[in-house]
Amino acid sequence: MRIRVAVIGAGSWGTTVAHLAAANAETVLWARRGEVAEEVTRRHTNERYLPGFALDPELVATDSLAEAVSGADVLVMGVPSHGFRDTLGQVSEHLRPWVPVLSLTKGLEQGSRLRMTEVVGEVLPGRPVGVLTGPNLAKEILAGHAAASVIAMPDVAVATELQRVFAGDRFRVYTNTDVVGSEVGGALKNVIAIASGMADGLGAGDNTRAAVITRGLAELTRLGLAMGGDPMTFAGLAGMGDLIATCISPQSRNRHVGEQLGAGRDIADIVAEMNMVAEGVKAAPVAVELAKHHGVEMPIAGHVAEVCAGRMTARDAYRQLLARDQRPEHYT
């Protein structure tokens, strides 16, 4: 029986995942804007988010949630964290029972401090739920470069079936049962990428960047373990892999935000000129709250949150981080 996939959210990554799925299954992409849906279906492009790239000709799109999800066998959520719950609530009116839900969103819900799969559990209880995550830059995948990702889901049988839906000749998909660790890695790497970008904006060198990435990995691992994640996850695609790609790539939105902050620009101006969401800006204060709740230290995340809130400059943040007391490299 041919599987029907519904991907909600026609940003760069949602569109790319829909493109990948269309090679293996009947796939419908939901776009908020009708003109984007028409472009994807008729011209097989999405110039707003992925200029210059051709999409699978079998991929169709719609601006009707009912049309997108009413016959779906798999639901993929690719909307930003701040609109995730509301969009999912609208989807729930049309989705059949027991349809598995896969989140692409690498963020945390403000206020509740919930991971996206926890939001799914509240809005659509009783369904298999997981995440697709890893070092996946959309434009590189569409350009045909090799990449790898991981589907994290407690139900191994469902994860294995979904693995076949999204895998391609140059896109390897692994499975993992650690949803908590995978989501924490995906959300927190965006925060660390802002810190890495700040170093670039300040004119720091590769030594500084390597230190930020490494100490950032230590921070997100500490929080992930405290929340119940598997330590091996943070050395894998959802942890170190995603962190490296997001911290060093010129395509990274979060790194770009940090670079601009390091150059002295105001966060409001930076965000206003972007046509896609940098999740790390919203995730940073939530990460600080979670760190306090679980009793772990996250100094880099804390300083990123202060800079994004306008209470500190990037230069002052780095001065304070360098002035911290010396300590063993491994501590809890």
Environment class of residue 220 by beta-carbon count within 10 Å: exposed (0-12), middle (13-18) or buried (19+)?
buried
Can you give the pLDDT at residue 275? 84
Neighbours of 299 (CB within 10 A): 14
**Model confidence pLDDT, tens digit, residues 299-317:** 999 999 999 999 999 999 9
CATH number for the domain formed by residue range(s) 180-322: 1.10.1040.10
Do the Cβ atoms of 148 and 135 come closer than 8 Å? yes
Do the Cβ atoms of 84 and 116 come closer than 8 Å? yes
Can you give the pLDDT at residue 217? 97
What SS3 string covers 156-189?
A: HHHHHHHHHHHCECCEEEEEECCHHHHHHHHHHH
How do the domains of the chain map onto residue ranges?
4-177, 180-322
Walk along the chain (332 residues) and give the pLDDT tens digit of each residue.
Answer: 589 999 999 999 999 999 999 999 999 999 999 999 999 999 999 999 999 999 999 999 999 999 999 999 999 999 999 999 999 999 999 999 999 999 999 999 999 999 999 999 999 999 999 999 999 999 999 999 999 999 999 999 999 999 999 999 999 999 999 999 999 999 999 999 999 999 999 999 999 999 999 999 999 999 999 999 999 999 999 999 999 999 999 999 999 999 999 999 999 999 999 988 899 999 999 999 999 999 999 999 999 999 999 999 999 999 999 999 888 888 76
Q: Where are the alpha helices (DSSP H) in the chain?
A: 12-22, 34-43, 65-69, 81-92, 116-123, 138-142, 156-166, 179-201, 206-226, 242-248, 253-262, 267-272, 279-294, 299-308, 314-322
Q: How far apart are CA 109 and CA 125, in angstroms?
A: 17
Fold designation for 4-177:
Rossmann fold (3.40.50)
The residues that are catalytic are: 189
Report the DSSP beta bridge partners of residue 108: 115
Q: How far apart are CA 132 and CA 186, in angstroms?
A: 10
Pairing of strands 74-77, 129-133: unpaired
